[in-house]
Structure 1
Amino acid sequence: MDWHLLGLSFITIFLSELGDKSQVAAIALSGSSKSPRAVFFGTAAALLFASLLGVLLGHGAAHLLPTRLVKAIAALGFALMAVRLLWPSADLPPDAEEVS
């Protein structure tokens, strides 16, 4: 087992999930239920299953697509999102301030 990769994966996912909508849903469910343990195990199982699907799909995609192509598609997607975020919204009048 690659312990460095395990630790890196844990830290990355842990930090990205802090304050996520799934955490807010878990807080709401545990506050309104009589069994917070069931909420914990249910949310943990859901995160594990979602992660398993991501790993399996990523592993399968790695066999079908070259790494260079996947990196190029990811870079293009992030560039398009950045341009979209920086571009003024077409549905706002020019003098209106955009609130994010």
Structure 2
Amino acid sequence: MDWRVFFTIFASVFIAELGDKTQLATMLFAADKEISKWMVFAAASAALIVASAVGVIAGTFLSAYISEKVLAYIAGVGFITIGIWTIYSA
């Protein structure tokens, strides 16, 4: 296993997930005194694993038809579009 790649991916995803709506929703569930914190952790972890699996499967499928460079440009344009929309909506 290439640990450098592992930690690069880990850091990128970890930083991207900090403070997003997923983390805020998880905090709200954890704040409920009637819900087990372990249940919140297990459910949120499972959801992130499944969402990541969908990303890996989609990336694998798309890379068979579209070059990595084009996919990077599409992702970049997507992030910029989301950023502009977020600023516009604020």
TM range (shorter): 0.7 to 0.9
Contact 2:29 2:35 in 1 (8 A): no
Letter paired with 1:73: I
Structure 2: segments with no counterpart, 5+ residues: none
When residues 79 and 37 of structure 1 are mapped into structure 2, their CA distance, relative to the original with a 3 A threshold, is closer
In the alignment, is residue 55 of structure 1 matched against residue 56 of structure 2? yes
* Structure with greater Cα Rg: 1
Q: How many residues are aligned here?
A: 86
When residues 63 and 9 of structure 1 are mapped into structure 2, their CA distance, relative to the original with a 3 A threshold, is same
Alpha-carbon RMSD across the aligned residues, in angstroms, is: 2.6
Deviation at 1:68, TM superposition (A): 3.6
Find the counterpart in structure 2 of residue 27 from structure 1: 27
Note the alpha carbon deviations across 1:45-87, whole angstroms, 9 max, x for none: 1001101110111011111112343244345x259739x93xx
1:64 counterpart SS class: coil
Q: TM-score, normalised by structure 2?
A: 0.78
Distance (Å, rounded) in 2 between the aligned partners of 1:15 and 1:79: 15
Find the counterpart in structure 2 of residue 10 from structure 1: 10
Q: TM-score, normalised by structure 1?
A: 0.71
